[in-house]
Amino acid sequence: MNIKKWKDAYYAHKWMKKNEPFLSVWHVYVGYETELFKAFKKGKTVEKVSKEYNYEEDLVRRWVEVGEAIGHVKKKGSKYKTSKKNCGEFLDDRTSHAVGALLKEMMELHIPTILAYPDYIKKEGRAHFDHERFGKTVADTSATLENFAYKQVLKMISSRKDGVVVDLGCGTGGYTRAIAHKYPKATVIGVDLNKDVIEIAKAQSKQISNIQFENVDLADWSLEGEAVDVVLMHNLLHYIPNHEREATLQRIAGWLPSGGQISIMTPVTEAKFGEAFVNSFNAFFTAHDNLFSLPSQVEMQQLAKSADLKVKNIEPIIKEGAWHLIHLVKE
Ligand SMILES: C[S@@+](CC[C@H](N)C(=O)[O-])C[C@H]1O[C@@H](n2cnc3c(N)ncnc32)[C@H](O)[C@@H]1O
C-alpha cells in the first residue's frame, strides 16, 4: 500500500472506531422499543422469542449478536439472556421508562435533526418541532431531571407556601404535583399548550385537591386580577423566541407582588462546565424554526434586569449539561 492509501485507511479506521460507542445506544434503543431485553430476561432462543412476539427472526438474531459482542446480551448454548449487569435497567418498567424516554428523544428527535444539519447550514430549510408527536417524549425526558431539582424548588417556595404557584409549560406536571403535595394550602396551577401532556398531568393528579391544569398557550394565560406568588418556567425558555423573552418575562413579572418569585430551569451556554452537551443541545434547538437558542448566563442576568427582577441564585443542577436553576425575586 502506498503512503497516501495507508493514510486514507488510517483516517477511515480512526473515525470508524470513534463511531463504535454509538452501537451501544442503537442497541439499547432497539431493545427498549421492541421490549427485547424483557423478552430475553430469562434466557430464550431467538426462534422462541421471534415466535412469541411475531418478530422477524433474522433481524432479532442480528440484534442479539450485536448485543453479545458489546456485552448487552449473554449467550448460553442456543439461548440468549439479557445482561443484568449492563442492561438490568431495561428489565424494570420504571427505570426502563426513564432511560427509554431519553433514548427516544435522542434517536427519534435529535438524530434526524443532526443528520439534516448540513442542509440547514446550506439554507435548505430548518427542522420543525412537532408538538403533537414529540410533546410527551420531551415532557418525559424533562421529568427525569426533576429528581435533581425538587429539593431546591420546594425550598424556594417555602416562604410562599399559602400562595398561588403557576407552573408554565408544566408538561406532565411533576413539579406541579410535588408542590401541591408538599404545600396543601397553596393553589397550584399547571399551564401547557400540549393537550396530551395536560391530560396525563390531570390523570396523575386526581387525588390532589389544590391543583388545576389549563391547556393554553402561556401567551394567552393570566390570572384575571389576582396576584401570582411563584412562577415556574422549567425547561421552557427554548420554546420562546429570543426576541420575545424580555417582553414575556416582563409580563410574567407583572403578575408578582413584591417578594414574588420566578424559578427558571434551563441549560445555559458559556458556563464553565458541560460545554459539549449544552452546545450540541443548542445546535439542535437552533436547527428548528420553532425552537430557539439557549441563553448564556450573562444573558439570563440581563433578562432578569430588564424585568426588574433580582437574581437571588443561579446554581447548577446537572453540571454535565450546564443545567441551571435560576431563582429570581421581584423587589
Ligand atoms: C420540555 S417540557 C418541560 C416540562 C416541565 N416543565 C419540566 O421541566 O419537566 C416543556 C413544556 O412546555 C410546553 N410549552 C412550550 N411552549 C409553550 C407555551 N407557549 N405555552 C405553554 N406551554 C408551552 C411544552 O408543551 C412542553 O410540555
Alpha-carbon span 300 to 267, nearest angstrom: 11
What angle do the packed helices 93-104 and 131-157 form, to 10 degrees?
120
Centre of ligand 1 to C-alpha 201, Å, is: 12
Tell me, yes or no, whether 139 and 261 share the same domain: yes
Tell me, yes or no, whether 291 and 163 share the same domain: yes
Tell me, yes or no, whether 15 and 150 share the same domain: no
Identify the domain boundary among 71, 90, 109.
90
CATH number of the domain residue 259 falls in: 3.40.50.150
Tell me, yes or no, whether 85 and 174 share the same domain: no
Residues 6+ apart with CB under 8 A from 299: none
Q: Ligand 1: which residue has its CA nearest to atom 16? A: 239
Burial zone of 189 (CB within 10 Å; 0-12 exposed, 13-18 middle, 19+ buried): buried
Domain housing 254: 131-330
Tell me, yes or no, whether 147 and 245 share the same domain: yes
Alpha-carbon span 179 to 113, nearest angstrom: 35
Domain annotation covers residue 110: no
Q: To test ligand 1's pocket by mutation, which of 133, 193, 200, 294 has the most ligand atoms within 8 angstroms of CB?
A: 193
Residue 211: what residue type? I
Alpha-carbon span 292 to 284, nearest angstrom: 9
Identify the domain boundary among 72, 90, 108.
90
Q: Ligand 1: which residue has its CA nearest to atom 14? A: 169
pLDDT digit string, tens, across residues 302-327 = 999 999 999 999 999 999 999 999 99
Tell me, yes or no, whether 70 and 140 share the same domain: no
pLDDT digit string, tens, across residues 175-194 = 999 999 999 999 999 999 99
Q: Ligand 1: which residue has its CA nearest to atom 27? A: 171
Domain annotation covers residue 201: yes
Domain annotation covers residue 250: yes
Residue 224: what residue type? E
pLDDT digit string, tens, across residues 201-249 = 999 999 999 999 999 999 999 988 888 999 999 999 999 999 999 999 9
Pairing state of beta strands 211-215 and 323-330?
A: unpaired
| R_g over Cα of the chain | 23
Q: Of 265, 307, 294, nearest to 152 (Cα)? A: 265
Q: Ligand 1: which residue has its CA nearest to atom 11? A: 169
Tell me, yes or no, whether 320 and 260 share the same domain: yes
Confidence of residue 160 (pLDDT cuts 50, 70, 90): confident
Tell me, yes or no, whether 212 and 309 share the same domain: yes
Domain annotation covers residue 224: yes
pLDDT at 1 over 80: no
Q: Specify the number of domains making up the chain.
A: 2
What is the average pLDDT score of the chain? 95
pLDDT digit string, tens, across residues 5-30 = 999 999 999 999 999 999 999 999 99
Residues 6+ apart with CB under 8 A from 259: 159, 160, 329, 330
Helix (H, G, I), strand (E, B) or coil at 326: strand
Q: Of 57, 65, 54, 55, nearest to 23 (Cα)? A: 65
Q: Is the dihedral of CA 295, 299, 303, 308 positive or negative?
A: positive
Pairing state of beta strands 309-318 and 73-76?
A: unpaired
Tell me, yes or no, whether 171 and 35 share the same domain: no
Q: Which residues line ligand 1 (CB under 6 A)?
A: 131, 135, 138-139, 142-143, 146, 169-171, 174, 191-194, 197, 217-219, 234-236, 239
- CB 230, CB 262: distance < 8 Å: yes
Tell me, yes or no, whether 246 and 166 share the same domain: yes
Q: Given the C-alpha cell 425538587, which residue does it identify?
A: 150
Three cell numbers, residue 130: 412537532
Alpha-carbon span 216 to 296, nearest angstrom: 28
Domain annotation covers residue 146: yes
Centre of ligand 1 to C-alpha 169, Å, is: 3
CATH number of the domain residue 41 falls in: 1.10.10.10
Domain annotation covers residue 273: yes
- CB 282, CB 294: distance < 8 Å: yes
Residue 123: what residue type? K
Ligand 1 atom closest to the CA of 131, numbered from 1: 25
Residue 184 dihedral angles phi and psi, to the nearest 5°: -65, -15
Residues 6+ apart with CB under 8 A from 225: none
Identify the domain boundary among 36, 64, 90.
90
Domain annotation covers residue 124: no
Centre of ligand 1 to C-alpha 4, Å, is: 53
Length reported for the chain = 331
Tell me, yes or no, whether 324 and 233 share the same domain: yes
Tell me, yes or no, whether 63 and 141 share the same domain: no
Q: Given the C-alpha cell 439472556, which residue does it identify?
A: 81
Domain annotation covers residue 106: no
Rounded to two decimals, what is the model's pTM?
0.93
- Can you give the pLDDT at residue 226? 86
